[in-house]
Structures are given as C-alpha cells and as structure tokens.
C-alpha cells in the first residue's frame, strides 16, 4: 500500500530536506575535517563533489521517492516491479534502513554530548577555565557510561516523540519552528565571532585553495563528507521525497538543498575558526574541535558562556532535525508493511537503535581498552559502526544513481525534472557514469587494506560492473 501522504505545502519538502541535511555533519564534522586536512583544498574538493556527484544523486533519490510514493524499501519493491528489473535493487531500501539504524545509534550519542555542553555553558561551569580543565571535563564526560546513556536516551526520545506525532503534526510543525530559529542563531554566532574572533584568519584558512596540500585520504574524506552532509544514499531523502508535492520543482529544490547546506557549513566553519584563531588555538584538533577547542575559546571570551550555550542549542536543534529524518524511512516502512500504528513503528525502530547506541557509549569507557571486539574487528565498536556507514552510504548512493540513470525512462525523468533536453542529458551522464565512478573511489577509502595499485584496479572493476549493470537493464527493458 502506498502511504499517499503529502506535505502540507509545496515548500515543506525543502524545509524537511534542509532540516535533514543540516546537522552535526555541518557543525561538527565539516569544521574538524577541514581543520585536520589543512583548510581550503579540502573545501574545494568537497564543493566540487557536492555539485558534480551530490546534486545529481540528490535529484535521483528524490525522484525515486516521488515516483514510487512509498517508503524506501516498499518503494524500491514497487519500482523493480513496474520497471521489470531484478528484485535485487530492493537492496537500496534495505541498505538504507540498515544505515539509518546505525547512523541514528551513534548520532544520538554525539548529539548527547552537545546536550551536556549546553548545560556546562549556560551554567557558566567553564568560565575562565584553562585548556587542561576543558580537556579534563570532556574526558570525564566520555568516561561516564550513565551520563552518556542518559543524554543519548533524552536525545533519541525527543526525536522519537516528534516522528511519533506524524509527518504533519510532528515533523512539519517541529521544523517550522526549529529551522528559522536555527538560522537566526547561526547569524548571531557569526556576528559574535566576527566581532570577537579573527574572521580574516578564518577566511584565509578556509578559502586559500592549494590542492597540492591535500592527501589522497583527504580527497576521499571530502567526498565521503559530501554524502554524509547531504543525507544521501540511505533513504532519508527518498522517504521525504515520497511526500513531496508533484507541483514542486525537483531540480530547483535539489539545488536549493545543496546550496543552503553548503552555505551553513561555510558559515559554521567561518564562525568556529574565527573563534579558534582569535583565541590562538589549534584548528587541527580533530573530533574534539567542537567539544574541547571551541569551549576553550568561549571560556576566554566576553559573554562566552551565554554565546556558547546558544551555540550548543544550535547544534542540538540541527541534530534533531536530522535525526528525525533517520527515523522516518524505517518507521514508514513498518507502518506500510506490517500495518503498525505510527507510535509503535517509531518505538520499534528507536528502541533497537537506542540499544545499538550503547555500543558507542561503551566505546569511550568500558570497551575503550583492548577487548574481544578490538581483536575481532581491529577497532572500537563506534569505529566499526562508522566504518559500516562509510560503506553503506556511498554504496546506496551509487545504486540509486545507477537505478535512476538506467532503469527510469526518458519520459519519467522528464516528468519529474521538468527541464530541457540539455540538462536532462547532463544529469543522466552524471548519474550513469560520473557519480558511480566517483563513489567507487569513496568506497575504496573504507577498505583500509586497499593500497597502491589495488586502488585503481578495484576502481576499474567497479566501473566495469556499473556499465554491465546498466546494459542489463536496457536489455531487460527492450526484451520485455
């Protein structure tokens, strides 16, 4: 059964998709990756990938959702039937559901840290603290399973509540309040950091492009980040697309999502690095940039506690508007497939993901040392979950690009894109060839053993495989 749910307004899809895209990926992951990879060059590759690979796949993913008007798994089942392709393409839906479970499980734990820091900031606990004190407070948080579990539970519970209320009463109403507030806060933080910090140094760091500075690993990380930040390849955008009004322009909306998402990342980067450089701190801190370096910068600044508190509220809001988009595709599937009531479906998804999240919680304390887990997988549980999403998201994106590029007919695509023949051709070339090839390389990054000559070799195999898959489609369609 199709859900036949549609967003209340033509523009609601854009709101929801921006809510999904803008999150910890922009505010936490993007700045620290840029810092670690030396600034401008990383951003150049990231932006190029967003436009050459991200936008075409974004269009493809919305298209599959709006065309099928079902949750990702049921939607792909429907599309394989109507397009007489192998049922294997349902993998797109299943991979997406698996990714959603996994991402939600650790996303919620990290968003929980932001909850802790909102409290620390607003109570002035870190006022005037020195580097050691700030670092020690982060370590103390990570060392406490009960505290981490509490924050994780609060965050995931709040997300579940919103989705449980339904797409209109919960998601739409929530986003309509949240998103404008987030943009106002982002502006306040930018103005503050421009006034107090060193905006010029931040701009130089971010926009001095020297591609020679970038390692191969940096290239690949930049591509991976562009997937994560656009919420691509795991069904979130497909699920939201299923509710998108047929009147709204798919192409224009996809551009708007990518532009807003990129702009938020840049603004957040400018603001964060202005504060970091203003305080004379190191931009290459890694994942601790937001939770150690930035609180330290705030600790030394006038009204830093208040602004820091506001900043972490921004982080929380952005995170929750993303986490609801991780719950929706799986919950919608459970409703469609098993006729569950929405609150039951949401509970089932969230409780399972919450339990998986405990692995991430324990990765920082009880299971931080060498355990059986490390012996078996060579990394922490959190590391393994991250690795899995780094594989699943690009793989899902590649399959989405291939399916939309080869299985959908010219007429179907034109009906969705409503564009001219030239743009259609550009899009189709990108999803048929360029995006899958580029993703093949992102994918390789996640296979740590792959080095040297193996990299191009496996890349070639994947590309040839993609062509073969495409030809099979054509053959099947013409034969039927």
d(CA 465, CA 447): 18
Phi, psi of 99 (to 5 degrees): -60, -40
Q: Could you tell me which stretch among 17-25, 194-202, 299-307, 374-382 binds ligand PHE (CB under 6 A)? A: 17-25
Q: Does 20 bind ligand PHE (CB under 6 A)?
A: yes
| Positions in 181-220 near ligand PHE (CB under 6 A) | none
Q: Does 106 bind ligand PHE (CB under 6 A)?
A: no
d(CA 30, CA 20): 15
Q: Could you tell me which stretch among 120-128, 226-234, 331-339, 407-415 binds ligand PHE (CB under 6 A)? A: 226-234
Smallest gap from residue 304 Cβ to ligand PHE (A): 25
Q: Does 326 bind ligand PHE (CB under 6 A)?
A: yes
Non-local (6+) Cβ contacts of 370 within 8 A are none
Total residues contacting ligand PHE (rule CB under 6 A)? 15
Q: Does 234 bind ligand PHE (CB under 6 A)?
A: yes
Smallest gap from residue 352 Cβ to ligand PHE (A): 17
Q: Does 26 bind ligand PHE (CB under 6 A)?
A: yes
Which residue of 15, 17, 18, 24 would you call a contact of ligand PHE, by CB under 6 A? Answer: 24
CB-wise, 56 or 197, nearer to ligand PHE? 56
Q: Does 159 bind ligand PHE (CB under 6 A)?
A: no
Q: Does 37 bind ligand PHE (CB under 6 A)?
A: no
Which residue of 68, 105, 118, 231 would you call a contact of ligand PHE, by CB under 6 A? Answer: 231
Smallest gap from residue 109 Cβ to ligand PHE (A): 14
Q: Could you tell me which stretch among 15-23, 64-72, 418-426, 440-448 binds ligand PHE (CB under 6 A)? A: 15-23
Q: Does 55 bind ligand PHE (CB under 6 A)?
A: no
Which residue of 59, 185, 236, 310 would you call a contact of ligand PHE, by CB under 6 A? Answer: 236
CB-wise, 117 or 277, nearer to ligand PHE? 117
d(CA 311, CA 269): 13
CB-wise, 96 or 470, nearer to ligand PHE? 96
Q: Does 93 bind ligand PHE (CB under 6 A)?
A: no
Q: Does 307 bind ligand PHE (CB under 6 A)?
A: no
Residue number, nearest CB to ligand PHE:
25
Identify which of 2, 42, 64, 10 has the alpha carbon closest to the alpha carbon of residue 400.
Answer: 64
Q: Does 23 bind ligand PHE (CB under 6 A)?
A: yes
Residues lying near ligand PHE in the complex (CB under 6 A) are found at 20-21, 23-26, 103, 228-229, 231, 234, 236, 322, 325-326
């Amino acid at each position: 059964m199709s859900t036949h749910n549609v967003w209340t307004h033509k523009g609601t899809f854009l709101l929801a998709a921006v809510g999904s895209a803008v999150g910890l990926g922009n505010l936490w992951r993007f700045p620290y990756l840029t810092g670690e990879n030396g600034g401008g060059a990383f951003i150049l590759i990231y932006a190029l990938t967003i436009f050459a690979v991200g936008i075409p796949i974004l269009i493809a993913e919305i298209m599959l959702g709006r065309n099928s008007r079902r949750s990702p798994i049921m939607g792909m089942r429907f599309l394989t039937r109507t397009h007489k392709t192998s049922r294997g393409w349902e993998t797109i839906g299943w991979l997406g559901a698996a990714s959603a479970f996994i991402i939600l499980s650790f996303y919620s734990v990290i968003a929980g840290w932001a909850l802790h820091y909102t409290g620390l900031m607003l109570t002035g606990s870190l006022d005037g603290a020195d580097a050691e004190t700030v670092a020690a407070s982060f370590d103390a948080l990570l060392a406490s399973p009960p505290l981490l579990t509490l924050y994780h539970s609060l965050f995931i519970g709040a997300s579940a509540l919103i989705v449980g209320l339904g797409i209109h009463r919960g998601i739409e109403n929530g986003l309509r309040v949240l998103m404008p507030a987030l943009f106002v806060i982002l502006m306040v933080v930018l103005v503050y950091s421009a006034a107090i910090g060193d905006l010029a140094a931040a701009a130089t760091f971010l926009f001095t492009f020297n591609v020679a500075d970038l390692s191969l690993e940096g290239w690949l990380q930049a591509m991976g980040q562009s997937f994560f930040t656009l919420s691509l390849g795991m069904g979130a955008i497909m699920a939201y697309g299923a509710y998108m009004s047929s009147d709204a322009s798919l192409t224009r909306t996809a551009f708007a999502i990518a532009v807003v998402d990129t702009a938020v990342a840049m603004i957040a980067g400018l603001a964060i690095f202005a504060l970091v450089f203003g305080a004379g701190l190191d931009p290459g801190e890694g994942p601790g940039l937001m939770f150690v370096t930035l609180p330290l910068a705030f600790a030394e600044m006038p009204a830093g506690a208040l602004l820091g508190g506001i900043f972490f509220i921004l982080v929380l809001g952005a995170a929750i508007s993303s986490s609801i988009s991780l719950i929706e595709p799986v919950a919608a599937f459970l409703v469609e497939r098993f006729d569950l009531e929405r609150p039951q479906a949401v509970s089932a998804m969230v409780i399972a993901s919450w339990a998986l999240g405990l692995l991430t919680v324990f990765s920082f304390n009880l299971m931080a040392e060498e355990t059986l887990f490390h012996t078996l997988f060579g990394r922490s549980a959190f590391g393994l979950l991250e690795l899995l999403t780094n594989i699943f998201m690009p793989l899902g994106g590649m399959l989405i690009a291939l399916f939309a590029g080869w299985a959908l007919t010219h007429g179907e695509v034109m009906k969705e894109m409503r564009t001219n023949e030239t743009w259609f051709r550009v899009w189709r070339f990108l999803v048929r060839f360029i995006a899958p090839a580029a993703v093949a390389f992102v994918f390789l990054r996640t296979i740590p053993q792959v080095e040297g000559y193996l990299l191009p070799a496996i890349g070639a195999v994947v590309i040839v495989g993609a062509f073969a898959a495409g030809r099979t489609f054509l053959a099947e369609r013409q034969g039927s």
